[in-house]
Amino acid sequence: MFRLARCRAIRPCRSFHTTRYLNALRPFLLADIGEGIKECEVIQWFVEPGAKIEEFDPICEVQSDKASVEITSRFDGVIKKLYYEPGQMAHVGKPLVDIDVNDDSAAAAQEQEVPVEEATKPAKSATEEKIESVAEQAEFKPKSSEETVAAHQNGTTLATLATPAVRRICRELNIDIASVKGTGKDGRVMKEDVLNFSKAAEAPVSSEPAPSAQPTPSAAPPSAEEKIMPLTPIQKQMFKTMTNSLSIPHFLYTDEVNMDRLIQLRKAINDDLKAQGGPVAKVSFMPFFIKALSLSLNKYPILNSRVTFQDGKPMLLHRPVHNIGIAMDTPQGLIVPNIKDVASKSLIEVAGELQRLQQLGAQGKLGPADLKGGTITLSNIGNVGGAYVAPVIVDSEVAIVGLGKSKVLPRYDEEMNVVPQTILNTSWSGDHRVVDGMTMARMVDQWKRYVEHPEKMLVQLR
């Protein structure tokens, strides 16, 4: 007792801080972006371990089955670990990176000092607290084509600016994209840069003039070797979707449409837009086709439905909103975004939305919201050519229409005179499990009347 009392008498009273460190190692998860997508390919990283980031800073770019998106941070902190290399598949719900999160608000907190004698429990360790189950979701946004990637303190650039299509060409040619000098804006690597780099690499290099060639027997050219290439993410999605679609019993219905009156109306509308101005510079034929399709669906709603199952029994899900999908050929492949609620939009609004989707599709920046929720699809191959086509139905729909190339052909008028008419060939596929041929024929005839007599369609427009 005496020795204990003596120690207390001569030892100064010490204290410790009860404020624990607020740093936490947070696994940053790949969020579910819908449409049944379970994995995404990591295209490029914008960060490396040890890099400091702030909220909304870009972390990486990923390519899903349908679109290229950029993932941004939800925290301020320091990158501790990257879970994937570029080209690997990241799984939904699994960590992408570990972020050492630093809550700066903790710096303002007053530290409390408590005498050792008054402490009732030991202080927590000053090491970082690791949080095991943090389900913070990644924020997705379309990747900006104008955005540059900042170089880190070591002077190296982690990501080379290029579209997924250009990166795919580099993989096919076995070229390191970092070694290609980009000629696009902000150093972006273009397709031509990769092809020129490939040609330069294949060209022989000689430091002195080659001696005159001696005549030699001509050798047979080497035969080209077969090469197995992996499917792109969009091709994988198309493979899966079309495989499911082939389980649907299709039937095909074709008809032709006289475009003469619609051509005159479109010209008048575009002349007025040019003179008066408007949200779009001009209107193509597609907005008329789309609005005519929506008006026809009001009379034949079964073609806007989908087949579903409840307790193993087939059912029809009737959908009152017309989200009309538009098949587009893009540098990334075939994609089908859709215009939401066409019935509530004016002709000019449909034209503006179509223009927006086309621009984003060409840039590979369509988001998941633009790609999901379609109820019927319209595919226009007329820009390339062809008359009739057998379009394949998406498994979440029951009908699709394919439009061919319009041509001026001889036809009889009402007085049985042969006259030139602009003819558009159309092809319609229906799910024969729920749609019969007569319903499709009436639907097409209604759509045809709206296109051939657009004044009737204008009366119905909202």
> Which two structure tokens, joined as six digits, stand for 214?
């001696």
- For residue 229, the tally of other CB atoms under 10 A from its CB is 9
CA 288, 343, 242, 362 dihedral sign is positive
Under 8 Å between Cβ of 354 and 287? yes
> Which two structure tokens, joined as six digits, stand for 327?
């098949």
- Of 91, 152, 250, 432, the active-site residue reads 432
Among all chains, which residue has been given the structure tokens 């575009």? 270
Contacts with 92 (C-beta within 8 Å, 6 or more apart), sequence order: 30, 31, 32, 33, 37, 38, 39, 40
Under 8 Å between Cβ of 189 and 175? no
**CA 29 to chain CA centroid, nearest Å:** 19
Cα–Cα distance measured from residue 385 to residue 403, given in angstroms and rounded to the nearest whole number: 10
**CA 244 to chain CA centroid, nearest Å:** 21
> Which two structure tokens, joined as six digits, stand for 6?
């003596």
- Of 186, 271, 272, 436, the active-site residue reads 436
Burial 269-308 (b: 16+ CB within 10 A, else e): bbeebeeeebebeebebbbbbbbbbbbbbeebebbbbbbe
Contacts with 277 (C-beta within 8 Å, 6 or more apart), sequence order: none
Cα–Cα distance measured from residue 289 to residue 404, given in angstroms and rounded to the nearest whole number: 13
Specify whether 91 is catalytic. Answer: no
Under 8 Å between Cβ of 404 and 425? yes
Contacts with 143 (C-beta within 8 Å, 6 or more apart), sequence order: 61, 68, 69, 70, 364, 365
Cα–Cα distance measured from residue 69 to residue 96, given in angstroms and rounded to the nearest whole number: 14
Specify whether 453 is catalytic. Answer: no
Active site residues: 432, 436
